[in-house]
Amino acid sequence: MTPKLSRRDWLALLLASAPVLSLQAQFRSSPWPAGKARPGLAAQDLQGKTWDLSDLKGRVVLLNFWATWCGPCKEEMPTLQTLAEIEGDALAVLAIDVAEPVARVRRYLQATGLQLTVLRDPEGDIARAWGATVFPTTVLIDTQGRARQVVLGAVDWTGPEAARWLKTLRMPSVRRT
């Protein structure tokens, strides 16, 4: 006779047998499209402060388009938090929540303990302007205010690949003639 497994035992067995994917295996990175203008960004955070990209010139900026219902977004959020803490004022990490009620986003942040700067995109207009159709989508902006890279999918933002991306954003770009 086979022992009867509880719901909890079944769940543990299922999770133990599921393939484990690292964050690094779940993304695709590409340069910002040549000739495509960088959209503007003026959005309010959850406290009502307006953030404008032009005010951040001189800093590297990471724009992360996400939603609370997005599993890969939630998976990478702790690494974004850690990156923001490590980098301090040298890097502006702006998590742009797309088309969700403020109360839901606040509950999520409170439940997870995340303290990232979250900007609101209540109708998804900002995401559309930046071409974010997959969540998470991250756009990396250099110190001159130029969009340089687009990353689709979840990333370990504390890993070596992300460190290389950020390093190139701090270096002056070479203009070809």
pLDDT on residue 58:
93
pLDDT on residue 23:
58
Q: Which CATH code is given to the segment(s) 23-33+42-170?
A: 3.40.30.10
In this prediction, residue 88 has a pLDDT band, given cuts at 50, 70 and 90, of very high
Q: Mutual orientation of helices 71-87 and 102-112 as an angle, nearest 10°? A: 70
Tell me: the pLDDT tens digits for 2-15?
Answer: 444 444 443 333 33
pLDDT on residue 95:
98
Helix (H) or strand (E) segment spanning residue 9: helix 7-17
Q: Which residues fall within 8 angstroms of residue 70, CB to CB, at 6 or more apart?
A: 135, 136
Distance CA 125, CA 123 (A): 5
Distance CA 108, CA 172 (A): 38
Q: In this structure, what token pair is assigned to residue 95?
A: 């998590």
Total Cβ atoms within 10 A of residue 10:
10
Tell me: the pLDDT tens digits for 92-123?
Answer: 999 999 999 999 999 999 999 999 999 999 99
pLDDT at 19 over 70: no
What are the extents of the domains in the chain?
23-33+42-170
User: Coil, strand or helix: which one is 123?
Assistant: coil
Average pLDDT over the chain, rounded to whole? 87
Tell me: the pLDDT tens digits for 24-56?
Answer: 458 999 999 999 999 999 999 999 999 999 999
The rounded percent of the chain whose pLDDT value lies above 70 is 82
Residue 108 half-sphere exposure, CB side, CA atoms within 13 Å? Answer: 21
